[in-house]
């Protein structure tokens, strides 16, 4: 369940703004490109993840189209890029579900007419769509943590239900999975025969996250073996498992919501716009605001549907909601995001919210690294080579903030955050010792991390690698930076050194 507070935050957050021009990342020479199928854009630094430098006012409507993430063009993906001879050990991914039907409807208007059954003859389609549908038909052979076994594995209502994944959403994730399939194939990330511990999926209990995760996994591993797949349930949208208790986190969230409320009621243009929209529909303003009209209007926009209209009444009501009204609400959301960053309460909330997930991710990567050490007897069943967490914007947005990626755009539909663990080639050190001749000693390779957001390498924008000096002999970010950030440094904003301490301290 998305809690009421989380749902409210979701609203506040459908945003993204741009303020700081980001210097393009210069790709170092020794990078190898993945094989065919993935469009790369060397030399063309096309920034999608970080908004354009602010040469002009952000346009709230074109921002909204970016949020739709319509799957109608080739995407660039920098996943799987590394210096030659580095070995890819593990990949951990968090996604936001794909395009969905609105969660709220606007009173007195017709719901947008969208068909949530899957069909090859409807756009957007994908070559994997039909095989995906038939593979999902065998899903009862998988292992489903309760209550996931009873959630439908494909959307299948000819008139979408509230919050249901659409065909667009399925195609977005088939494409994401397929992009990573091509990116990781040359690195032989996934063994031909994998074990349930090496590859698994975790998801919240919503059908849209479960179905998005399955579509992604199918794109990555077409015709995967159901009997090996375990799908785990995360009841909390923060993916905090058994470590969700954190009183300070809730207090930062409440403070953040008060900040958001004050900013919103001070915005006279916004208030006027809601009043105009409410008059058109013949509703009390309060009722319209509570119906969160931007959510439904975004769906109209993403699906090319005209905004809702109501017939003229004799009390001044009637007419259509307009793009200009939509733009005002979006503009206020962009202002809110800038204010949110400036104030910093959200960042503190985010650190406490995402620590449990980051701690688990770090632990998985360390286990894989240990099992790869020379001379180790690997554990039967292996370690987590690839796990996928299928989540919501209220998960991905705090994850970005906790990583220090404050300037990144608000997570669009089917957004993806990818953590890659790499190992450099072993170096043979030749030591000359007096009297003993030459002795050579093999030293294991070093560990490195890459972080990607929507296909773009953002590693050197993260809090733990922003100030790392890159050089040709060490072009990647050391894993130990990430580990010490997650296990200690992240809590320095609270003047604390651990999660427990920060969670039980008075607010700072
Ligand atoms: C993709 O769709 C968006 C609208 O959702 C549109 O603005 C854009 O022009 C389309 N791009 C292509 C290449 O068709
Ligand atoms: C969708 O529902 C229809 C009618 O209930 C059913 O016949 C069909 O098999 C379902 N399709 C899938 C892919 O589950
Ligand atoms: C105005 O008229 C419309 C349609 O006749 C009706 O639905 C609406 O409730 C009325 N609004 C008010 C404020 O009386
Ligand atoms: C963090 O991860 C370690 C394993 O590396 C685990 O023992 C510990 O309980 C985790 N802490 C929290 C608060 O989740
Ligand atoms: C941080 O904590 C230390 C030790 O508890 C304390 O001495 C110091 O005054 C604190 N600093 C701030 C800024 O709260």
User: Crossing angle for the helix pair 323-343 and 60-68, nearest 10 degrees?
Assistant: 80
* Cα(415)–Cα(396) distance, integer angstroms: 8
Cα–Cα distance for residue pair 95/416, rounded to 1 Å: 4
Q: Which residues pair with 456 in a beta bridge?
A: 453
Q: Does residue 33 or residue 226 have the better pLDDT?
A: 226
pLDDT greater than 50 at residue 312: yes
Lowest mean pLDDT across 5-14, 27-36, 422-431, 474-483: 27-36
Please check the confidence at residue 465 and state whether its pLDDT lies above 50. yes
Ligand 4 centre and the CA of 146: distance in Å? 24
> Is residue 46 scored above 50 in pLDDT?
no
Residue 97 annotated among the catalytic residues of the structure: yes
Report the pLDDT value the prediction gives residue 129, as an integer from 0 to 100.
98
Q: What is the mean pLDDT of residues 469-485?
A: 88
- Can you tell me which residue has the tokens 């430098």? 53
pLDDT tens for each residue of 154-177 = 999 999 999 999 999 999 999 999
pLDDT for the residue 435: 55
Minimum-distance ligand 2 atom for the alpha carbon of 136? 13
Q: Which pLDDT score is estimated for 49?
A: 74
CB-based contact 392:1 (threshold 8 Å): no
Alpha carbon of 73 to those of 172, 175, 198, 270: distances in Å? 11, 11, 32, 34
Domains of the chain: which residue ranges?
A: 87-107+118-243+350-503
Number of alpha carbons in the 13 Å side-chain half-sphere of residue 391: 27
- Specify whether the CB–CB gap between 472 and 384 falls below 8 A: no
At 85 the pLDDT is 92
Please count the CA atoms within 13 angstroms of the CA of 18 that sit on its side-chain side: 17
pLDDT at site 220: 98
Using CB atoms within 10 Å of the CB of residue 497, give its burial: 0 to 12 exposed, 13 to 18 middle, 19+ buried: middle
**pLDDT digit string, tens, across residues 196-208:** 999 999 999 999 9
Give the model's confidence band at 13: pLDDT under 50 very low, under 70 low, under 90 confident, else very high: very low
Give the mean model confidence (pLDDT) for residues 33-53.
42
pLDDT by residue (tens digit) across 427-437?
A: 776 665 555 55
The answer to whether residue 28 scores a pLDDT higher than 80 is no
Question: In the predicted model, what is the mean pLDDT of residues 458-466?
Answer: 96
Percent of all residues in the chain with a pLDDT value above 70, rounded to a whole number? 85
Cα–Cα distance, 341 to 252 (Å, whole number): 14
Query: Across the strands, what pairs with 309?
Result: 320
| Percent helix / strand / coil, the chain, rounded to 5 | 40, 15, 45
Q: Are 163 and 392 in contact (CB under 8 A)?
A: no
Is the CATH number 3.40.1390.10 carried by domain 87-107+118-243+350-503?
A: no
Report the percent of the chain where pLDDT is more than 90.
Answer: 76
Catalytic residue (one of 267, 393, 457, 461): 393
Interatomic CA distance for residues 154 and 151, integer angstroms: 9
Ligand 3 lined by 56 (C-beta under 6 Å): no
Q: How far apart (Å, rounded) are the C-alpha atoms in residues 84 and 499? A: 38
Contact 46, 76 (CB under 8 A): yes
**In ligand 1, which atom is closest to the CA atom of 301?**
5
Q: What's the pLDDT at 57?
A: 61
Residue nearest to atom 10 of ligand 3 (CA): 282
Listed in sequence order, the residues at least 6 apart from 505 whose beta carbon sits closer than 8 Å to its beta carbon are 248, 494, 495, 496
Judge if the beta carbon of residue 363 lies within 6 A of ligand 4: yes
Q: Name the least confident of 164-173, 271-280, 437-446, 460-469.
A: 437-446
Please report which helix (H) or strand (E) contains residue 502, including its range. helix 499-503
Does 364 score more than 90 pLDDT?
A: yes
Q: How many C-beta neighbours within 10 Å does residue 31 have?
A: 16
Q: How far is C-alpha 131 from the chain's CA centre?
A: 26
Is residue 19 pLDDT above 50, yes or no? no
Over 80: is that where the pLDDT of 301 sits? yes
Answer whether 456's CB lies under 8 Å from 49's CB.
yes
- Please compute the mean of the pLDDT values over residues 432-447 and round it to a whole number: 65
Question: Of ligand 1's atoms, which has the minimum distance to the CA of residue 302?
Answer: 5
Q: For ligand 4, atom 8, name the residue with the nearest CA.
A: 359
Cβ neighbours of residue 83 under 8 Å, at least 6 residues apart?
Answer: 28, 30, 31, 32, 424, 475, 476
Whether residue 58 has pLDDT greater than 80: no
414-428: pLDDT as tens digits: 999 999 999 999 877
Please report the pLDDT score of residue 12 as a whole number.
34
pLDDT value, residue 436: 54
The token pair at 442 is: 């093999």
Closest CA to 143 of 220, 201, 192: 201
Residue nearest to atom 14 of ligand 1 (CA): 72
In the DSSP assignment, the letter for residue 100 is: B
240 CA to middle of ligand 5, Å?
Answer: 28
Question: Measured from the CB, is residue 72 less than 6 Å from ligand 1?
Answer: yes
* The dihedral formed by the CA atoms of 253, 356, 203 and 191, expressed in degrees to the nearest 10: 150
- Give the chain's mean pLDDT: 88
CA distances from 125 to 98, 138, 168, 173 (A): 14, 22, 8, 12
């Amino acid at each position: 369940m998305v809690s009421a507070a989380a749902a409210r935050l979701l609203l506040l957050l459908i945003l993204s703004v741009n303020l700081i021009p980001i210097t393009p990342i210069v790709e170092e020479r020794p990078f190898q490109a993945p094989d065919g199928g993935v469009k790369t854009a060397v030399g063309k630094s096309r920034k999608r993840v970080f908004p354009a430098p602010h040469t002009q006012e952000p346009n709230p409507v074109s921002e909204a189209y970016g949020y739709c993430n319509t799957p109608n063009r080739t995407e660039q993906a920098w996943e799987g890029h590394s210096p030659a001879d580095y070995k890819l050990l593990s990949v951990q991914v968090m996604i936001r579900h794909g395009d969905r039907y609105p969660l709220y409807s606007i009173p007195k208007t017709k719901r947008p007419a969208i068909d949530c059954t899957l069909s090859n003859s409807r756009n957007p389609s994908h070559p994997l769509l039909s095989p995906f549908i038939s593979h999902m038909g065998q899903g009862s052979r998988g292992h489903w943590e309760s209550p996931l076994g009873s959630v439908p594995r494909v959307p299948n209502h000819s008139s979408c239900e509230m919050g249901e994944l659409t065909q667009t959403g399925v195609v977005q994730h088939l494409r994401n999975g397929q992009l990573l399939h091509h990116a990781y194939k040359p690195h032989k990330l996934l063994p031909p025969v994998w074990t349930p511990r090496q590859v698994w999926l975790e998801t919240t209990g919503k059908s849209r996250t479960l179905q998005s995760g399955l579509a992604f996994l199918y794109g990555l591993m077409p015709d995967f073996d159901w009997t090996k797949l375990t799908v785990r349930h995360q009841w909390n949208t923060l993916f905090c498992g058994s470590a969700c208790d954190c009183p300070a986190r809730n207090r930062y969230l409440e403070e953040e919501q008060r900040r958001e409320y004050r900013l919103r009621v001070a915005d006279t243009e916004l208030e006027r716009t809601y009043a105009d929209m409410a008059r058109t529909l013949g509703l009390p303003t309060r009722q319209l605001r509570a119906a969160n009209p931007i959510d439904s209007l975004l769906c109209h926009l993403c699906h090319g549907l005209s905004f809702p209209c109501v017939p003229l009444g004799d009390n001044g009501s009637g007419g259509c909601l307009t793009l200009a009204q939509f733009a005002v609400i979006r503009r206020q959301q962009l202002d809110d995001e800038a204010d949110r960053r400036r104030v910093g309460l959200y960042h503190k909330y985010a650190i406490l919210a995402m620590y449990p997930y980051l701690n688990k991710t770090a632990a998985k990567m360390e286990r894989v690294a240990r099992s790869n050490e020379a001379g180790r007897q690997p554990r039967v069943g292996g370690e987590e080579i690839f796990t996928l967490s299928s989540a919501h914007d209220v998960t991905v947005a705090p994850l970005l903030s906790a990583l220090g990626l404050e300037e990144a755009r608000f997570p669009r539909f089917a957004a993806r955050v990818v953590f890659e663990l790499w190992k450099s080639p072993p170096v043979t050190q030749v030591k000359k010792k007096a009297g003993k001749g030459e002795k050579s000693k093999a030293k294991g390779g070093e560990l490195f991390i890459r972080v990607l957001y929507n296909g773009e390498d953002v590693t050197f924008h993260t809090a733990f690698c922003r100030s790392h000096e890159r050089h040709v002999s060490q072009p990647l970010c050391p894993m130990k930076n990430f580990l010490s950030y997650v296990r200690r440094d992240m809590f320095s904003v609270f003047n604390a050194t651990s999660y427990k301490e920060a969670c039980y301290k008075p607010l700072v």
